[in-house]
A and B are shown apart, each in its own frame.
Chain A
Amino acid sequence: MAKIDTAFFDLSKLEEMANNDTVIHRIDPRIKVLVASMFVICVVSFHKYTISAILPFGLFLIIVMGLAEIPAFFLLKKIVLVSPFAIMVGIFNPLFDQQPIMVLGAITITGGWVSFVSILLRFGLCVGAVLVLIASTGFNTICLAMVKLGMPKIFAVQLLMLYRYIFVLIEEGLRMYQAMTLRTFHGRAIAMKTYMHLAGQLLLRTLDRAQRIHLAMLCRGFDGNIRIRQSLRMARLDIFFLAACFAILLLMRCYNIPAMFGRLITGIT
């Protein structure tokens, strides 16, 4: 099936999740953006051979995900779908890095495999963090938060406009695509030449639409300035959440908690 309708489905599904009302959803979006960024920075800053110390971050993500009531299967599917680039680049690590760093019984594990697993882990966590952020916050609210955090307003307007019309244009594209597939033989992909006409046609419609939107905006008193309704309020609980999350993240970053656990059990220091 075409990529275009799954995209449509995903967008609406994520937006639908963002309309939920859970503990995580109620937190101020600025806090969530900051925590997600901190999470990613912490995960990415680990040494390339680190595996065990990264695992608690997965635990953190799962807890947040559970609290926000985001279905794990949906998230996993999305993560797997976008993984090819990271896997393709990472798979060369075992080839180039043959340095054995661990002997486990009869099996010698090379650094390449360890760093490959580490890459996969980082990938899953970083992508997961972004998806949890968007699924628990919603795009418009994130834009609002970013404006409050210092993003230029015109860029925020661009993002909001884009987001609004993505749905419209995907629908338009989908319609054209369907019309085309109905007139071609089954399963045949679009030829480049057809695509050029399709894209050109879609572009013309887009430009017409832009003109209509502009006129409509003028009719409603648009004077070149965009006003964004801002109604974010930081409660004391939000600050507490921020502090707690930062503390937990830094703790997990600074101490290899699984290794400490392991040491406690195996007694190897």
Chain B
Amino acid sequence: MHMADALLSPAVGGTMWVATAGTIFYCSKKVKQDLDDRKIPLMGVLGAFIFAAQMINFTIPATGSSGHLGGGLLLAILLGPYAAFLTIASVLVVQALFFADGGLLALGCNIFNLGVFPCFIAYPFIYKPIAGTNPTPLRIGIGATLGAIIGLQLGAAGVVLQTVASGISELPLSAFISVMLPIHLAIGLVEGLVTAAVVSFIWKSRPELLDLTAAARPLGDISLTKVIATLGVVTVITGGALSWFASSSPDGLEWSMFKVSGHEELEAPEKGIHHTLAVLQEKTSFLPDYGFKAGEPEAEGLVETASWPAVDSGTTTSGLVGGLMTLALALSIGLLFRKRSKTA
């Protein structure tokens, strides 16, 4: 459930980037403060572990579909929330760069959805109270399962909200959420069971490891609320600032860039070189008024009701023709390069 660049608007993506970058800075500071220097190699190697473990799929009983290890909560249990957040963030960065899961802009959303929720909500508020200071396999099992389910539900809800707020996809909020949440409930359950099993496996074979991380973790509740509060403030401020740009454009959440550069500006010059050229074109073009007369009034009438102001079939046609030309140009340049590299 990696968010993709293609479904994001710059305002939403930018906001999530700022929120995520803020959390990374905060966690870096925190990890540096309690520099238990064993943690540095541990974080690196555990990140690689999550990476490797995620690539081995297993079958989910009775369904035939396959699942993999989630990781966020497991890392939080083993490393504590701050180091775990940095670790999961680093895993997602590598996945985004090498496997193109999501993309550069969506990276903010992905780290937020898969990092903040398990590390700063599921772990301290669900796993820790249930597992307690004196964990038993049952408590670990319940805590890890519940924690993974809730963390993943929040993450899925995050994906839905970011997608809907971006407005690129037409999926309505209710329909999208009613699909995403049940699916991720099932996935979360499986992930939770696997996390629980792995943690109790560790607990059985090396109980000291869990105690170690539990003891080394300097998590005060006050600092946690501070993280969330700062995060909230940062999100609201940047969201507000960005949507201030957006509200000056006619389409709500679209970025102001559209207004600055959209069709209004292109169509605007009534005289001057542009106009002269246009007149010249009118006379010399070899496709004058290429048979769109019939379609035009209909389209025009419908456009009145549409939310997008600048659709007229003329622009669309020239867009189509020019677009095809660009495409052809792109392809031929690509082929040219290919040919050259073959001969070279």
Contact = CB atoms under 8 A, between A and B. Distances in A.
B42 A207 contact: yes
A177 B56 CA distance: 8
B94 interface: yes
Contacts, number: 416
A35 to B, nearest CB: 11
Nearest to A47: B258
A40 B1 contact: no
B10 A45 contact: yes
Interface in A114-172: 115, 118-120, 122-123, 126-127, 129-131, 133-134, 139, 142, 151-155, 157-166, 168-170, 172
B8 to A, nearest CB: 6
Interface residues of A, number: 131
Contact of B24 (A52, A67, A152, A170): A152
B59 A189 contact: yes
B330 A162 contact: no
A206 B48 contact: yes
Contacts of A221: none
Q: Is the contact region of chain B dominated by helix, strand, or loop, or is it mixed? A: helix
Interface residues of B, number: 131
A269 B41 CA distance: 63
A168 B329 CA distance: 44
Interface stretch (A23-31, A94-102, A240-248): A94-102
A102 B317 CA distance: 9
B286 A265 contact: yes
Contacts of A224: 35, 37
Contacts of A262: 317-323, 325
8 contacts: A7-B99, A10-B98, A78-B99, A82-B100, A112-B170, A155-B89, A170-B55, A202-B49
Given A157-B40, A260-B318, A268-B289, 10 more contacts: A52-B320, A52-B322, A53-B319, A85-B4, A90-B6, A122-B5, A127-B5, A162-B48, A170-B55, A203-B201
Interface of B: 1-2, 4-10, 13, 24-25, 28-29, 31-32, 35, 37-38, 40-49, 51-53, 55-61, 66-67, 69, 86-87, 89-91, 93-94, 96-101, 103-106, 163, 167-172, 190, 193-194, 197-198, 201-202, 205-206, 209, 251, 254-255, 257-258, 260-263, 265-266, 278, 281-282, 284-290, 292, 294-295, 298-299, 302-303, 305-306, 308, 311, 313-323, 325-327, 329-330, 333-334, 336-338, 340-341
Interface of A: 2-4, 7, 10-11, 14, 36-37, 40-41, 43-49, 51-53, 55-56, 58-59, 62-63, 65-67, 69, 72, 78-79, 82, 85-86, 89-90, 92-93, 95-97, 99-104, 111-112, 115, 118-120, 122-123, 126-127, 129-131, 133-134, 139, 142, 151-155, 157-166, 168-170, 172-173, 177, 189-192, 194-200, 202-204, 206-207, 209-211, 213-214, 217, 222-224, 226, 253-269
